[in-house]
Amino acid sequence: MDNLMRAQVLVNALPYIKDYNGQIVVVKYGGNAMVSPELKDAVMKDIVLLSLVGVRLVLVHGGGPEINQQLKKIGKESKFVGGLRYTDAETAEVVQMVLAGKVNKDLVALLARHGGKALGLCGMDGRMIEVEKKRSEVDLGFVGSITKVNTQVILDALDNGYIPVISTVAADEKGQVYNINADTAAAKIAAELKAKNLILMTDIRGLLRDKEDESTLIPQVQVSEVPNLIRQGIISGGMIPKIECCVESIRRGVKKSLILDGRIPHSLLIEMFTDEGVGTMFL
Amino acid sequence: MDNLMRAQVLVNALPYIKDYNGQIVVVKYGGNAMVSPELKDAVMKDIVLLSLVGVRLVLVHGGGPEINQQLKKIGKESKFVGGLRYTDAETAEVVQMVLAGKVNKDLVALLARHGGKALGLCGMDGRMIEVEKKRSEVDLGFVGSITKVNTQVILDALDNGYIPVISTVAADEKGQVYNINADTAAAKIAAELKAKNLILMTDIRGLLRDKEDESTLIPQVQVSEVPNLIRQGIISGGMIPKIECCVESIRRGVKKSLILDGRIPHSLLIEMFTDEGVGTMFL
Amino acid sequence: MDNLMRAQVLVNALPYIKDYNGQIVVVKYGGNAMVSPELKDAVMKDIVLLSLVGVRLVLVHGGGPEINQQLKKIGKESKFVGGLRYTDAETAEVVQMVLAGKVNKDLVALLARHGGKALGLCGMDGRMIEVEKKRSEVDLGFVGSITKVNTQVILDALDNGYIPVISTVAADEKGQVYNINADTAAAKIAAELKAKNLILMTDIRGLLRDKEDESTLIPQVQVSEVPNLIRQGIISGGMIPKIECCVESIRRGVKKSLILDGRIPHSLLIEMFTDEGVGTMFL
Amino acid sequence: MDNLMRAQVLVNALPYIKDYNGQIVVVKYGGNAMVSPELKDAVMKDIVLLSLVGVRLVLVHGGGPEINQQLKKIGKESKFVGGLRYTDAETAEVVQMVLAGKVNKDLVALLARHGGKALGLCGMDGRMIEVEKKRSEVDLGFVGSITKVNTQVILDALDNGYIPVISTVAADEKGQVYNINADTAAAKIAAELKAKNLILMTDIRGLLRDKEDESTLIPQVQVSEVPNLIRQGIISGGMIPKIECCVESIRRGVKKSLILDGRIPHSLLIEMFTDEGVGTMFL
Amino acid sequence: MDNLMRAQVLVNALPYIKDYNGQIVVVKYGGNAMVSPELKDAVMKDIVLLSLVGVRLVLVHGGGPEINQQLKKIGKESKFVGGLRYTDAETAEVVQMVLAGKVNKDLVALLARHGGKALGLCGMDGRMIEVEKKRSEVDLGFVGSITKVNTQVILDALDNGYIPVISTVAADEKGQVYNINADTAAAKIAAELKAKNLILMTDIRGLLRDKEDESTLIPQVQVSEVPNLIRQGIISGGMIPKIECCVESIRRGVKKSLILDGRIPHSLLIEMFTDEGVGTMFL
Amino acid sequence: MDNLMRAQVLVNALPYIKDYNGQIVVVKYGGNAMVSPELKDAVMKDIVLLSLVGVRLVLVHGGGPEINQQLKKIGKESKFVGGLRYTDAETAEVVQMVLAGKVNKDLVALLARHGGKALGLCGMDGRMIEVEKKRSEVDLGFVGSITKVNTQVILDALDNGYIPVISTVAADEKGQVYNINADTAAAKIAAELKAKNLILMTDIRGLLRDKEDESTLIPQVQVSEVPNLIRQGIISGGMIPKIECCVESIRRGVKKSLILDGRIPHSLLIEMFTDEGVGTMFL
């Protein structure tokens, strides 16, 4: 490809750039989607680019695989209850260390290497996330449910030109630390910030009519259709909570929510700056 | 080309975007370089894009062909003295009307159509340019020489997010209007603004070792080599004043001055956002 | 007159100055009212003075006579349809050049000479005026009707201490330029800015009960009386659209609209800074 | 005089208004110059006008006659030592009450009635004036000498749009109140503020070559000529300290210092806004 | 007491400091409560401390005893009508001098000595208080009733970091000065500022069930209980207007109003920064 | 102790509070000094109090014991070379997790619980710390030496009202993470911020003339005396690098550096807000 074509590509991005200029976009970058260093690098480049062209980008991250690995190191088995990690006190501590200390700050450093100016935050910083023990039928230990999001610390970061990178751990008033589901946290943060987009980056292709066949991807879903899709079994299993996050954020004012395949290189840029839709969009 | 490649192109522009973020770049867009509507459109798109990704871009324009055309319409012959337009009172008025009223506002409208927020200014606005009659061996009529550039109005425009588009006509204290060479004006404005780059867009390939052979383009020249290149006759004729503008701006603090071929589509973007040099660069 | 009397005059202006301090006043300065250079000079001095004593003054100008003169120069006849100029493509171009390039920037230069800091704008700058073809029974060519006024560029100019000088030409989304009636534009701008006053400077004495007798001037009219005055034939002909501008601006929140005789030297100052009313005031 | 002449007068003030726009002028308004209520009213109107047209005016006042009157009321004789008031503790208290409580706040109220926004301050407010006992051959009691002027409180007032009105009493670190000569204080304040002008309003015509003959007024004096004028006896008696204040302020950066006849109505406006000089100017 | 205990005390104030941070508190410091120099000193220290730890404190003062003393000095008897001072023209002048010139500026100086940055204001400054003659059955002379409080000058002072110290004298539009009850003024100012607290410092213990027995102090009263307490005679005499001020301020949005015993050293700090209530609180 | 005494203690802190108002103080809170939860709680309360009364406090923390504990958990032995921890890649990762993820965010949460608004940062955030491998005679692995401190992120935090809490890990341009000595980092940060004080909180009494006898504490040392004290062996061992930090910060503009005994409850407040010196002060 010659440079003229390159310039042409940049120019073609113009209407998209203009559209997103000054808008808040919350990206949840999941643990499984960050497995390959090359992909992680590509996503971080996308984010720095988006930030430089004026998108007020907020990055919420997970880190399941790294948590598992660390638990293994200290000889502790991961215990799951109904698909959710049971979090005892020691696990909560590991989760905090790995997420807020390792995954978060590594992302901050990676963004810095690509020219970004990032700030690594967690729920405790500026009292961003208020939390209580999640109520559920089976006890999940120190798994938290968000009672309030204080966006001031995020807005301060954005206003000073930083990309806020957020770990979803938070402490209650007694200082007890809770692990919070990152999809849920991202959705609540997006809603509270009145973000333009919420983007959940995962390791699946999107919502498929036939789970075995990627060619049956449903590119766009009206929020009102979701209950029916659940009844039909098209939305099922682990997709249900994820899509409920999308629905909830739309209900609370986010313009567009997306499930995006993080395994596709630069899926973020392709989605935002081209006419090609990647993954499934909820409106 | 697929969207992945497109995204890749955007990402590759990252280090360049970062480098230019918040920097002032003065572009002189010359009359001959704006002949084709398609090219003009392409240049305006480049400028809107540069502005959106954080370049503080100042556009200085010429308009010789349109002036000639208008003079012809009123049945007045263009008169040149030693390659410079002789400007009588009536011509000065036509120059003002065509530049500040037609070329300038058309560019502003074109930038607006591509999503830019532009402000059409001339030397009188905010008393930007102070002028006196240019001293020269032969009388050139109302051809002006800049005595001072007041950058406040340009900086106010940039700070409020506008792309300042500047016609190089100005009035002296008695209200007499003068036509000012746009290359010279652009160089003085760039110097006064301590711009990072001054880019003179023309309709030639750049400085050629052999005028007949574009493959002999000299991509880069140290300011100190210029006198020697003039002696050797490599810099000659109409190139001399143009290159003197480049040299002068560098001497007064501009980091890099360029003569760029406006006939190459998107030469501005290629020059600024790829590793390919287009035209001749002076440092 | 001795200096004590001079000082006394200044002091007597005190309550008026105080009253207008920080208020927006939109002045439409018409083509016929700017015929004599001495009068034009006097009006510009008034405007600089008003601006220096804290009035946030916006100057909207016409330029019919200068347009006619330029059309004549290129051998084109002015064509009028029902009192309105028929504007073909070539005429639209001349209107743009003359208004935005000549009349506008000459006013800017004149204001500068009297110590004012002015900014010459037209409908394209900062996308101030959105326009469409004016619907009318007979085709008027490129005569435009305002669909939206974006006041940001005007407010930015005022906030940075400039006197915005506005030509009422604007381009639609395809880049086609339209000529817009300056009275109408001034009224819409005043309404959108929530101006304190709209002042239409013309070359007539005001609204006369008997058109032949200036001593029958009606100094003040309630907006509610206008329909009746039209029915009685007191408001008729070219006065109808002018007065409709006054009425419309009052309806949309302007406190006071005036038709002022621009032929009376310093009528602007006399109106605003003395107890003498000049012309006809609508409330 | 008709309104056209009135407007003409306003317009003629334009270059002066422009010149003083945004400049600091310190006016000392002396006790003897404020005797007649009509004159006081006229001076306050002048000051409000100056403030409205953009002069950053600081008013320092005296109040000798009102102090004498109050001392008389409590049956205390004014005692003078070498032309200076001997200030015992009880007198210091009266001075404070009369200046900061009566004269000052009355001026503030008078300015308010003419539309001004004033703030009545004394040396204690915002710790504006630091003071110590004045060293002199004969003991003067609690007569103070300024050791430092903190201009922050004055600048805060000006920046918020107030006219600061200043009484020259101040307290030392133990809380002892001192009476400070108002001319000296005004000169020090003007110097510290880098004022454009210092104007001492008095009840004399200015510096006269022959004290008995007002026609021998010296309109302008170079600071370097002052010692010679003292030697010649032209500057003598009470004029010496007054003129030393003028000289000192010029030495410390004030552009122009004036002794102005407060008995001439509107002498302030005549001096500042016409070409007529009133009183004696030091440069 | 050792330093550890001292530090412990500071730390225990933490929740209170946090609670008051950035909040407006209006303190009325009455004439009788300022009798002893030691107590006055202590109150001023409290106020400087409160200001330094982030309370936006407004000090309104009285000065009855000092007024009486000054009236006596000039041989004028204080005349009371129904418990209220009859204020003839001469008395009004003395009130203004003593309050705005002496008591006010002495407090400003005292605050400065303890490290505070204060600004001495009265009703005329920045046209803070608009006043008219108080309507009452018996003529009270120049006793004023507030028609409007313009808080801008108070807020400007607070925003620039000053402690506003306010004398409750004001002038009407003709310049006539009125004496205004300081409790009433403080209540109106607190209401207009939407203060968190209004604190009336007096020389009594608070509201007592049995006037002879301080142990019968009523620590807290609901505003709705006040009419009943008046009927029972528990609130009576001079307490009625004071408590009406408290009630009125609560009705207009103040969170808590207090009658506080100024004779108790540091009662202000004890009330605000400990769990001990001093005096009677109205909510 | 009664409340009067409590208030008295608060008032006595007034001059100290005034002195520190708006000043930057950098506190290094060391690993050994944070052993007891009660002490840690007390220190955090001190810090919140200091922040609320206007000190711009920056907290730099260590965490040696918690690192050791975590290394033990994963079955890794801490290896020391010449008193310094040898840091292999796996250790560097643990250091990052424990410091930036656990110790840092726990302090942030603790500050929040006492009413503070804190922000947990490390060297990567906002590219605060630029680092390279520390040059030393024996290889220490990934132990870093600071090449530059970018204070912008710290100042942004302070300006927005946050207490910055800093972990001293940083990444080089390749993303390699380094462990940095917290004393050194605190000293460099304090110097770069032109802090008023640098306070190193440790678990020793200060500099002792006789190490066995706490009564031989040297309360104050001139920087120029340090070489002599080293020669005499009074400063020796682990004290040498600590004291060199103090000396270096003083040389670069910090007013006062302190070694403070973190085991004494509220030693921070006692040192700063009483006349009692705790530990050893360097000037």
Residue E4 lies in a domain: no
Q: Which of residues 214-243 of A touch F (CB under 8 A)?
A: none
Quick check: A100 pLDDT over 70? yes
Percentage of chain B beyond pLDDT 70 is 100
d(CA D94, CA D87) in angstroms, rounded, equals: 10
Chains that touch B (3 or more CB pairs under 8 A): A, C
pLDDT for position D71: 94
Distance from CA of A232 to the nearest CA of F (A): 43
Rounded Cα distance between B16 and B23, Å, is 12
Decide if C117 touches D, using CB distance below 8 A.
Answer: no
d(CA D13, CA D55): 14
E56 belongs to a structural domain = yes
Q: Which of B72, B97, B166, B172 to substitute to test the interface with C, most C CBs within 10 Å?
A: B97
Spatial separation of the C-alpha atoms in residues F270 and F13, rounded to whole Å: 10
Closest residue in chain C to residue D44, using alpha carbons only: C11
Give the separation between CA B103 and CA B165, rounded to whole angstroms.
Answer: 10
Q: Return the percentage of chain C with pLDDT > 70, whole number.
A: 100
Is residue A178, in this structure, part of any structural domain at all? yes
Residue D63 marked in a binding site = yes
- Whether B112 contacts chain A with CB within 8 A: no
Q: Do residue D125 and residue E113 have CB atoms under 8 angstroms apart?
A: no
* pLDDT value, residue C149: 98
Annotated binding residue at D179?
Answer: yes
Q: What is the mean pLDDT of residues C246-263?
A: 95
The larger pLDDT score, comparing residue F28 to residue B85, is at F28
Q: Which residue of F has its CA nearest to A67?
A: F97
Q: What is the pLDDT of residues E185-201, one digit of tens each?
A: 999 999 999 999 999 99
The C-alpha of D102 sits at a distance from chain E's nearest C-alpha, in angstroms, of: 5
Residues of A in contact with B45 (CB under 8 A): 11, 14
3-class secondary-structure state, position F62: coil
Question: Average pLDDT for residues E111-116, to the nearest whole number?
Answer: 95
Residues of E in contact with F161 (CB under 8 A): none
CB-based contact B3 A276, cutoff 8 Å = yes
Interface membership of D20 toward C (CB under 8 Å): no
Q: How far is E29 from E183, CA to CA, in rounded Å?
A: 9
C45: contact with D, CB 8 A cutoff:
yes
pTM reported for the whole predicted model: 0.92
Mutate to test the interface with D, among C1, C6, C270 (most CBs of D within 10 A): C6
| Cβ-defined contact of A109 to F118 (cutoff 8 Å) | no
Q: Which residues from chain D sit within 8 angstroms of residue C52, using beta carbons?
A: 14, 17-18, 21, 53-54
CA distance linking residue B237 with residue B82, whole number of Å? 11
Classify residue E9: in a domain, yes or no: no
Whether E91 and chain D come into contact, CB under 8 Å, resolves to no
Q: What confidence score (pLDDT) does residue C24 get?
A: 98
The closest of D264, D273, D213, D221 to D244, measured between CA atoms, is D221
CA-nearest of C182, C199, C205, C180 to C249 is: C199
The fraction of chain A above a pLDDT of 90, given in percent, is 82
- Residue D76 at interface with chain E, using a CB cutoff of 8 Å: no
Banded pLDDT at C138 (limits 50, 70, 90): confident
Binned at pLDDT 50, 70 and 90, residue C1 comes out as: low
Does the pLDDT at position E1 exceed 80? no
CB pair distance less than 8 Å for D100 and E101:
yes
Residue C154 included in any domain: yes
Q: Is residue D193 part of a domain?
A: yes
Residues in Cβ contact with D245 at an 8 Å cutoff, skipping those fewer than 6 apart: D183, D184, D186, D187, D198, D200, D257
Please tell me the predicted confidence (pLDDT) of residue F26: 98
Q: What is the ipTM of this complex?
A: 0.94
| Residues of chain D neighbouring C14 (CB-CB closer than 8 A) | 45, 48-49, 52, 114-115
| Cβ-defined contact of A54 to B49 (cutoff 8 Å) | no
Contacts of D119 in chain E (CB under 8 A): 121, 125-126, 153
Report whether pLDDT(A227) > 90: yes
Tell me: pLDDT of B204 over 80.
Answer: yes
Q: Is 80 exceeded by the pLDDT of residue D82?
A: no
Task: Decide if pLDDT at D231 tops 80.
Answer: yes
What are the tokens at B134?
A: 């240019």
Average pLDDT of the residues of chain D: 93
Q: Do B14 and A274 touch (CB under 8 A)?
A: no
> In this predicted model, what pLDDT tens digit does every residue of D146-188 receive, in sequence order?
999 999 999 999 999 999 999 999 999 999 999 999 999 999 9
Q: Please return the burial class of D49, using the count of CB atoms within 10 Å of its CB with bins 0-12, 13-18 and 19+.
A: buried
- Angle, CA F160 vertex, CA F156 and CA F164 arms, to 5°: 65
Give the mean model confidence (pLDDT) for residues D92-104.
97
Range scoring the smallest mean pLDDT among B81-85, C45-49, E139-143, F176-180: B81-85
Count of structural domains, chain A = 1
Chains B and E, touching by 3 or more CB pairs within 8 angstroms: no
Nearest to C109 among B73, B124, B153 (CB): B124
Distance from CA of D160 to the nearest CA of C (A): 14
Does residue C33 have a pLDDT over 80? Answer: no
Interchain contact C59–B (C-beta under 8 A):
no
Of B11, B21, B265, the CB nearest to A266: B11
Task: Determine the pLDDT at residue F232.
Answer: 95
Give the distance from residue B189's alpha carbon to the nearest chain C alpha carbon, in angstroms.
18
B38 touches chain A (CB under 8 A): no
Q: Show which subunits contact C, needing at least 3 CB pairs below 8 angstroms.
A: B, D
Cβ-defined contact of B119 to C125 (cutoff 8 Å): yes
What would the pLDDT profile of A183-198 be if each residue is shown by its tens digit?
A: 999 999 999 999 999 9
Collapsed DSSP state (helix, strand, coil) of residue C71: helix
Q: What pLDDT shows up at residue F85?
A: 76
Would the CB atoms of B98 and C93 count as touching at under 8 Å?
Answer: no
Helix, strand, or coil (residue B132): strand
B123-144 pLDDT, tens per residue?
A: 999 999 999 999 988 899 999 9
Using a CB-CB cut-off of 8 Å, the residues of chain B touching C118 are: 124-126
* Distance from C-alpha of E52 to C-alpha of E269, rounded to nearest angstrom: 13
Convert the pLDDT of each residue in A103-160 to its tens digit. Answer: 999 999 999 999 999 999 999 999 999 999 999 888 999 999 999 999 999 999 999 9
Percent of all residues in chain A with a pLDDT value above 70, rounded to a whole number:
100
Residue A209 has pLDDT above 90, yes or no: yes
C7 vs D269: CB contact, 8 Å cut-off? Answer: yes
Is pLDDT above 90 for C259?
A: yes
* pLDDT tops 90 at residue C67: yes
Say what the pLDDT of residue A1 is.
67
Average pLDDT value for chain B: 93
Binary contact (E119, D118; C-beta < 8 A): no
Query: Does F64 count as an annotated binding residue?
Result: yes
Alpha carbon distance F84, F89 (integer Å)? 16
**According to the model, what pLDDT value does residue D1 have?**
66
Chain A residues closer than 8 Å to B52 by CB: 14, 17-18, 21, 53-54
CB contact under 8 A, D45 and C1: no
Kindly write down the DSSP assignment for every residue of A104-117, as one continuous string. Answer: HHHHHHHHHHTT--
Q: What is the pLDDT of residue A268?
A: 94
Q: What percentage of chain F carries pLDDT values higher than 70?
A: 100
Between A6 and F105, residue with greater pLDDT: F105
- Search chain F and give the residue with CA nearest E268: F7
Is pLDDT above 80 for D83?
no
- All residues of chain A having their beta carbon less than 8 Å from the beta carbon of residue B265 are 4, 7-8
We report the CATH number of the domain holding residue C272 as: 3.40.1160.10
Q: What is the pLDDT of residues C80-90, one digit of tens each?
A: 887 777 899 99
Long-range residue pairs from A245-250, CB within 8 A, at least 24 positions apart, any chain:
A245/A183, A245/A184, A245/A186, A245/A187, A245/A198, A245/A200, A246/A187, A246/A198, A246/A200, A246/A282, A247/A223, A247/A282, A248/A187, A248/A191, A249/A187, A249/A190, A249/A191, A249/A195, A249/A198, A250/A223, A250/A282, A250/A283
Range of the domain at A249: 21-282
- CB contact E4 to F (< 8 Å): yes
- Position F178 pLDDT exceeds 70: yes
Note whether residue B2 is domain-resident.
no
Of D85 and D228, the one with more pLDDT: D228
Q: Which of C4, C115, C276 sits opposite D3 (nearest CB)?
A: C276
Mean pLDDT across chain E, nearest whole number?
93
The verdict on a CB contact (< 8 Å) between C102 and B122 is no
**What is the Cα–Cα distance from F8 to F18, expressed in whole angstroms?**
16
Higher-pLDDT residue of C33 and B97 is B97
Q: pLDDT tens digit string along F201-259?
A: 998 899 999 989 999 999 999 999 999 999 999 999 889 999 999 999 999 999 999 99
Question: Burial level of A152, CB count in 10 A (0-12/13-18/19+)?
Answer: middle
In a domain, C277, yes or no: yes
